[in-house]
Amino acid sequence: KMTCSEDEYELLIKGYMTDELPDQTYYQFSTLLLDHFIEKEKWEELEQILLELQIKFEQYPILAKQLEYLYQTYCVNKKDRDVYS
């Protein structure tokens, strides 16, 4: 992660996230991207990928709950905080 730019890191991870991957592996790569977006405060990108992941993993209740928690915490609540800032 430290040897490339933010954009290169994102492209590298997205390059591995193909539909051919088993769902478990896809999710593992997606968590790297989620952590990166949170760390860099890229809220729009985070919201977009969370919405995509919620659809992709809706058949996995625990993952769906985790993704919903992240969405509520970083997207919905963040918007609420921004309104009052």
Segment 57-84, tens digit of pLDDT: 999 999 999 999 999 999 998 765 555 4
Q: Which of 38, 11, 37, 16 is nearest to 26 (CA)?
A: 16
| pLDDT averaged over every residue in the chain | 91
Alpha-carbon gap, residue 79 to 26, rounded angstroms? 28
pLDDT score, position 77 = 81
pTM (2 decimals)? 0.86
More confident residue, 79 or 41: 41
Identify the H or E element spanning 63. helix 61-71
**pLDDT over 70 at 1, yes or no:** no
Distance of alpha carbon 15 from alpha carbon 72, whole angstroms: 27
